[in-house]
Structure 1
Amino acid sequence: MNDVQSILTQSFSINSADIEKSQSFQKKYGGRLEHILVNMGALSEDALPQFYAEFLQLAQADDDIVAGASFDAMQDNSLYQALLPLNWFLLQHDDQQCTILAKDPLSAEGNQLISQLQQRLHLFVLTEPQLQQLKQKSVRQSDNLSELGDELSDLEEDRLRELADEAPTVNLLNSLIARALKSGASDMHLEPSAGRYRVRFRIDGVLQEADFLAPRMRLPIASRIKILSGMDIAEKRRPQDGKIAMKIANEELDIRVSALPLHEGESIVMRFLRQDSINYSMEVLGLSADIEQYILQDLKKTAGVILLTGPTGSGKTTSLYTFLNAINQPEVKIITLEDPVEYQLEGVNQVQVQPSIGFDFSAGLRSIVRQDPDVIMVGEIRDNETAQIAMQSALTGHLVFSTVHTNDAPSAYTRLLDLGAQEYLLNAAIVSIIAQRLARKLCPHCKQPAENAAELIQNYQLEQLASRYQLTPQLYQPKGCDHCAHTGYKGRMAVVEYLRCDDDIKALPKDENFPQKARELGRAQGNRTLLQDGLLKAIQGLTTVEEVIRVAG
């Protein structure tokens, strides 16, 4: 290797001040020097292939090599399949030598994979256009297996089982899962799309394209997942669900799997449940200080109903677990009724409903109240009977937590009335309603002042909101760095609308005009809407106005 500092100054004309600044950042936060310089704007991303070639003393890939590359002979090579997700392409692998084309030859995963090779190694550096050309070539490789129909013969099913257990399939799936976990993904989506097999990770609530797999790997990978999760690999016409317990990179992992038939194949979604990575503390939720105090006051009550509202994926279950964890004491008996039980809470009796045998939320709730609990958590109020039992349980000395699907807090009353709950029961039982969304937090390592701050402050009247809380608006925008996978965002926090069901709310008629009147009353009392709570976090520099509008606008 050559000296990196001399290369940067002599070949790329980067001044010593920028290099010192990047080294200081690297020492404090970690990351690769060339990536830091790219993020700083001191080094062009297009210059990285030349940098790698000089630094590692490698040759850059010739266009003729890329144009003539063929991967037909590599399709069943386990090393080829393991390197492919890293954008490393195995061109030749025999007893004499190994030829690899790589976009990032400093990749730790790639170097680990080739560290045990005994053959003479030829490593070439790729440019971005060359990389895209090779990816298209690898995607076009397919065989007759990818064209199998909906109904498989016994011979075809046996062949699929063999392929699912072969090293290329096992290594490729393990590599994808490891990449998803390393990036902090909550879900991995595998979808056939326009003749390709697309892989996407959901990171901080947003899907990000991760890779495209060769079409010939679609059925082996899908079959591997189905076998691990206990599904029927021969069934491709009906939706299926399953569960995988496995160990990846020394981490125990539960994976919920869903397979959905599409017009051109099956979409498979894998949800990662990482017990060790969940921290059910109020600080992690990121609630505004005043709302956190209101909720802590509610948690001290011994009876009543606390409701969370919001769409799927808005963090309601995590918030409920956090509230339960805050009151989980040896002298308090807590029973939950969930569909399904995703995370284990120590000291809490968790029950999973089984609708197929008639054990639904209402039946489970009737059984729970006979267990003498102090606190009850019902995963969701879906019908009249569950609503009635939950409210009556609150009136007989239980603290009840549950969720309903509405867009804001006042609409929860309307939803419960539509389910058949009586108005007097709602007035007597409900303590508070919390509407919630999840907004991505700006990466603290790379966020920078928003270029359009003045325009945003004016358009969203942020001066008035800031003065109300004695703040000075500080708006930032995302940039992207190694710490946040170059998205500009890292982690999420709750954006909340809190509605305390006090005497003023109880006095309002629960008719079709109630949500509007409740909002007017909230404004008069100085309460914040979902949008206002999000904008408050934006002017504190925690997120962006654009992100708040996306989730709560």
Structure 2
Amino acid sequence: MSLTDNTVGAGFQGIAGYIFQLGLVNQGQLERALDYKRQLGGRIEQILVNLGVIQHDDLVEVYAGYLQLPKFEAITEENSLPLSVLEQLDINQAVTAGALPFRLEQQQLHLAVLDPFKLDLYDLWKAEGYEVVLHVCKQSHFDALRVQLTVAQTSEKHQSHDGGSELERLRELAFGAPTVNLVNNLIVRGIKLRASDMHIEPLNGRYRVRYRVDGILHQAETIPLDLQLGVISRIKILAGMDIAERRKPQDGKIETSVAGKELDIRVSSLPLGEGESMVMRFLLKESVNFGLETIGYEQDLIDLIEKDLQRTTGVVLMTGPTGSGKTTSLYSFLARLNEPSVKIITLEDPIEYRLDGVNQVQIHTEIGLDFARGLRSIVRQDPDIIMVGEIRDHETARIAMQSSLTGHLVFSTVHTNDAPTTFTRLIDLGVEEFLLNASLISVMAQRLVRTICPYCKTCDENSALLHQHKEMMALAARLNVTPAFSVGTGCDRCGGTGFLGRVAILEYLPNDHEIQSFAKDQDFLAKVRDYRNRRGFRTLQQDGLLKVLKGVTTLDEVMRVAG
């Protein structure tokens, strides 16, 4: 097909007309792009991408529909190439050309392509005697395939060394249809269950699969003996890990899509006495809602946080264990502040979600780019707001505090049990007391509790006993809340657990003049707890009890998380 674009009256023809028919652009946007094309040349769809009218990933739908080409779906394709193709493949040349081979069926070679109109390798493969079939590909899928092919080539190069036959056997298992289908089904099942993680680990000579749903691990199934090595090898290949290495921990990443949803999977392998433990963390980008209300914050705490976010300098810290929603909360703060007039830079390890308009930096400790070095660099980029994924050493803590004194609003996380102990933790890291008092705005400790399933929610039959809980009833009286104790009876929607989803419980502590006046010595924590009681700031447990009173969660759940 030709890329020539002409207008006839109010109608558009060629690929421009097709883009217009898809509803990706309006008439004014398309006419403006066509003006650029007439003046400067170029391809209309690329001009629309450069103008920011459509996204690069939108071109997959455009090319697939306009040219009647299949789409490459990394999660469902059985990407297996014979040695003969791998040996003649120059991956760097293929990446430059934007065309990667992924399957050979008889003499029909399937290529994943970013741009079907730019095919430097097309004639090369045809000259080798192959019938070439093009599949339009997203950039994330193209990158994942590149990693997979690189690992496959590396594995082939090991054939000349001892153990080469074992590598070939593992690779054959990894690309076998039963293994491919099982791994795909395990991932899809995890997404359907709303799992945050999938654990594959050895147990008594077998490998079991468990999913973490709403913070609780649930056993799913046992992997058949004949597929165990294949499954582990398959995941390693997809994640760009070394399938031959079983003695050292490894980390990797899979970028793919499931049921049309973009998915990042962080993969970690750990050698155990019985085999290898594989943990896959699912990061479904569409599933995150960055509203403070939807996270579960009470309105009085939202009002306090809003005042903190209006500050232009200072440090706001979030604390809690891994998986307590700290990063999501910080993203919510950034989303509240993200405007064209504000420059935001983040330092993260890893970058969990992409934020439009925010400059996000990935930490790479293996090349020396750690939090401290990255923070020193980004303060020279003239940011208004900085987010540091974690303060874990003296240098990062000191630079973060000093940055706030030079005109920056800084957000970060610290690993402590509650808000008061964050002060002593920073002192232990070597932050001077005067610097802490001058820079810190507030500290928040957070946990996640499961919420009662709305589909099987009913009044709690034990509410009479709950009315005898003195602290909870005192809280109800103080906040003028009418108890609405509830429980979930269990249904198909919640998998019989009675819970569906999670919300945050929060402990908020400002660094006001009174807190600043307290010496950070052995009596500091006792003074802060007395101050908190006098000022009416709730502890984590008390914020959880408030949600019990409102029928959001149960007392047992709060005691499990914050007891």
Paired residue for 1:463?
A: 473
Map of 1:537 onto structure 2: 547
Contact preservation (8 Å) 1:414, 1:512: no
Deviates more, 1:170-179 or 1:473-482: 473-482
Query: Percent same amino acid among aligned pairs?
Result: 59
Unmatched segments (≥5 aa) in structure 2: 1-160
- Answering whether residue 307 of structure 2 is matched by residue 311 of structure 1, we say no
What is residue 549 of structure 1 aligned with on the other side?
A: 559
- CA positional deviation for 1:544: 0.5
| Structure 2 residue 273 is matched with structure 1 residue 269 | no
Task: Report how far residue 284 of structure 1 moved.
Answer: 1.8
| 2:185 is the counterpart of 1:175 | yes
Cα contact 2:472–2:542 (8 A) shared by 1: no
The match for 1:95 is none
Runs of 4+ in 1 over 4 A off after TM superposition: none
Letter in 2 for 1:445: Y
Aligned to 1:255: 265
Q: Deviations over 1:140-179 (max 9, x none)?
A: xxxxxxxxxxx98211220111111111111111111111
Instruction: Work out whether residues 462 and 473 of structure 1, in 8 Å CA contact, stay in contact via their aligned partners in 2.
Output: no
- Between the aligned partners of 2:555 and 2:437, the Cα distance in structure 1 is 36
Separation of aligned partners in 2, 1:356 and 1:161: 28
The yes-or-no answer on 1:501 pairing with 2:501 is: no
TM-score using structure 1 length: 0.71
Partner secondary structure for residue 198 of structure 2: strand
**2:104 alignment partner in structure 1:** none
- Counterpart code for 1:260: L
State the 1:263 CA deviation.
0.9
Aligned length: 403
3-state SS, counterpart of residue 468 of structure 2: helix
Could you tell me whether the CA contact under 8 Å between 1:174 and 1:248 is conserved in 2?
no
1:5-154 matches, within 5 Å, as 153-154=163-164
- The C-alpha deviation readout for 1:301-324, integer Å capped at 9, x for no partner, is 111110001111111000001100
Return the offset for 1:388. Answer: 1.1
Q: 2:490 aligns with which of 480, 497, 507?
A: 480
Q: Is the 8 A contact 1:282 1:322 kept in 2?
A: yes
Q: Counterpart of 1:396?
A: 406
Q: 1:538, 1:321 → 2: CA distance?
A: 27
Matches within 5 A, 1:356-505: 356-505=366-515
Instruction: Give 1:240's aligned residue.
Output: 250
- Distance across 1 between alignment mates of 2:170 and 2:367: 34
Matched AA of 1:346: D
Normalization by structure 2: what TM-score? 0.70
| Cα distance between partner residues in 2 of 1:520 and 1:216 | 61
- Whether the 8 Å contact between 1:152 and 1:234 is mirrored in structure 2 is no
Report the counterpart of residue 159 of structure 1 in structure 2.
169
Distance 2:419 2:525 in 1: 8
* Letter in structure 2 aligned against 1:217: L
* 1:324 match: 334
SS of the residue corresponding to residue 237 of structure 1 reads coil
Q: Which residue of 1 aligns with 2:538?
A: 528
3-state DSSP class of the match of 1:484?
coil
Match of 1:348 among 358, 380, 388: 358
In the alignment, what sits opposite 2:225? 215
Aligned: 1:278 with 2:320? no
Give secondary structure in 2 for the equivalent of 1:198: strand
Structure 1 unaligned blocks of 5 or more: 1-150
Aligned to 1:301: 311
User: Structure 1 residue 518: deviation in Å?
Assistant: 0.4
Once residues 448 and 268 of structure 1 are traced to their aligned partners in structure 2, the CA distance between those partners, rounded to angstroms, is 39
Q: Residues of 1 paired with 2:356 and 2:260: CA distance?
A: 22
1:332-381: CA deviations, max 9, x gaps? Answer: 00001111112111000011122122221111111111111100111111
Tell me the amino acid that sits aligned with residue 536 of structure 2.
G
Aligned-residue Cα RMSD (Å) equals 1.3
> Would you say the 8 A contact 1:437–1:552 is kept in 2?
yes
Q: Residue 458 of structure 1: SS of its match in structure 2?
A: coil
Q: In structure 2, what is the Cα distance between the partners aligned to 1:434 and 1:248? A: 35
The question of whether the paired residues in 1 share the 8 Å contact of 2:296 and 2:504 is answered with: yes
Aligned equivalent of 1:15: none
Whole-angstrom CA distance in 1 between matches of 2:258 and 2:168: 27
Moved more, 466-475 or 244-253: 244-253
Instruction: Please list the CA deviations of residues 89-110 of structure 1 after superposition, one character each: whole Å capped at 9, or x if unmatched.
Output: xxxxxxxxxxxxxxxxxxxxxx
